[in-house]
Amino acid sequence: MAVVISDETLCAAQLSANELKRELAVLLFQQDRLTLMQAASLAEISPIRFQHILASREISPHYDVPDFEQDLVTLNSLGML
């Protein structure tokens, strides 16, 4: 699905197209509508860069104990533990 936003709207918001994608990604991540990976993909930046943006805005990365436990299971299944 393509979304078209006029240049006039971007100009009024004082944002480039890439900045608008990044702002939308941050907002959707903050609302728990996208995962970190999905939001980074929407913003067209690396997950690490996206985490830096979140940190600069004091937004939690939503990484909790169940996420950590799942990562441990994944790492174990890959033989990395």
pLDDT tens across 58-70, in order?
Answer: 998 887 788 788 8
pLDDT band for position 9 (cuts 50, 70, 90): very high
**Domain segments of the chain: what residues?**
7-77
- Which residues lie below 8 Å from residue 5, measured CB to CB, with a gap of 6+? 17, 20
Are the beta carbons of 54 and 40 closer than 8 angstroms?
no
Q: What pLDDT is recorded for position 63? A: 76
Averaged pLDDT, 27-48: 94
